Amino acid sequence: MDLPEIALVNVLSRFPLKSIARFRTVSKEWRSLIDSDFFRDQYISFNSSSSLSWSIIQTNPHKLSLEIIGHHGCNTWGLDRSPASFLRFFAKTTIRKLLVLSCTDGLVSICAEASDGSPLYYIGNPLMEDWFQLPLPPFLSSQDLDSLRKNKRFSDTGFVTKMRSGVVVSYKVVWMLTHGRLSDKLDFMIYSSETGTWRKRHVSCPRTTDWERQDKSIALNGVLHWLSEDTPSFDASSIVAYDFYGGGDGDECRIIHFPGSQIDEVTGDNLSQRVYRRSFTASEGSIVYFNEFHENETHTLRVWRLVKYEDCPEAWQLSWDLKLTSLTESGICYFPMVMHPLNSDIIYLWNWTAKGLVLFNLRTRVFCVRKEAEEDGKCMDGCSLSFNWCSEYMDSIRKYNLPGYQRGPNSLFFSQYVLPRWLHRLPRPQST
């Protein structure tokens, strides 16, 4: 590569991806350069520490709005509005209902209901306005699919990706059917973008588990993670995980108990000390669990990171163990939401008395409160915050976070939609 081209790479790498997308239309030479692996790697390396736009997504899509908190104005993309506002969908037929099933690595899974009631499934990259309609499984008739969708043990929300050099190179859509509420057997129907085909996979679990929450999962590194418990209960005791890129027929799901769910002498996690029901989130490429504990009249926040997909004490690594003096002295009443997906020092809490978002830096112990009424609220990474029916959603789920609430199981109430660091197109099956 000659010097002028290298100089052009260095200049272009300083622009946000929104501008890079426009630069591709300047000339064939610029398009060829920008689409090259060399430029992609240089751009990602140069902007590796830049902030990314992302959203906190609520997981009850029939209510209110999908995105409850958006982050925009971040360096990498340079967007002037939140990521979910770019979600535009144009179907070739009339639709009467649209449901976002899942979001991962910048891609979105959608189910549209046609005017005759038949389901239409799509995978898309909203920012690139690139959509693909999934073929339905050939081994299911329309009547079979209609019956499945009415079955409480069926979930069509599973969606995982494979990343390479910061680019999504393939994805898998996962439909799941459990054998009853209490079962150690699972049936998966998996669509692969690499082959363009569906296949069935029968999987067992090491022990019987309760599948009350199978319709909500978090995808990370090709693995789906569900909340579960050993026996019917209102609080989860474990995470069930399955690797859809590393697993195969005959493989088992992994069950990993939360710290303290089996009376851990080190953490002392029990109902009288633990303040909130168990849940988990994702941050910096790991599954993270955090909770508050009341011990000796003090409030302690503990954060664990999942480091081994094994059911043993070494599975979880304690990352933070700190007193919440600054929060409690300020009179803030909160419940946990998520970790920042790109910075594991920052935790998101909801102040349910003042109806505001609490951004808490675990390393510096500094926190700030952002309310929906603020016109230009800022995140700790410099991005602008936008709210959309956030208070209403928080009010509807607050009771489910309390251990003493006995009218329904806790669930995964939040997920994160994080934009990628590059302009990858939607993977499609290789033509035969």
Is the domain of 262 the same as that of 220?
yes
Q: Whole domain around residue 25: which residue ranges? A: 1-49
Is the domain of 327 the same as that of 341?
yes
Is the domain of 288 the same as that of 227?
yes
Q: Is residue 432 part of a domain?
A: no
Contacts (Cβ under 8 Å, ≥6 apart) of 357: 69, 337, 348, 349, 350, 351, 369, 370, 371, 377, 385, 387, 390
Handedness of CA 263, 264, 269, 272 (dihedral sign): positive
Is the domain of 298 the same as that of 393?
yes
Asked whether residue 90 carries a pLDDT value surpassing 70, the answer given is no
Asked whether residue 432 carries a pLDDT value surpassing 60, the answer given is no
Count up the domains in the chain and report the number: 2
Question: How far is 413 from 401, CA to CA, in rounded Å?
Answer: 10
Asked whether residue 79 carries a pLDDT value surpassing 80, the answer given is yes
pLDDT tens figures, 269-298:
455 588 888 889 999 999 999 998 888 778
Q: Is residue 7 part of a domain?
A: yes
Is the domain of 135 the same as that of 19?
no
Closest to 291 measured CA to CA, from 281, 305, 277: 277
pTM equals: 0.90
Is the domain of 182 the same as that of 239?
yes
390, 65 contact by CB (below 8 A): no
Is the domain of 160 the same as that of 215?
yes
Question: What confidence tier does 138 reach under pLDDT thresholds 50, 70, 90?
Answer: very high
Nearest 5°: the CA angle 189, 195, 198 is 20
Is the domain of 36 the same as that of 109?
no
pLDDT tens figures, 352-405:
888 889 999 999 998 988 888 776 677 877 788 888 888 888 888 888 777 666
Is the domain of 132 the same as that of 5?
no
Q: Per DSSP, which regions of 119-166 are E strands?
A: 119-125, 130-133, 154-164
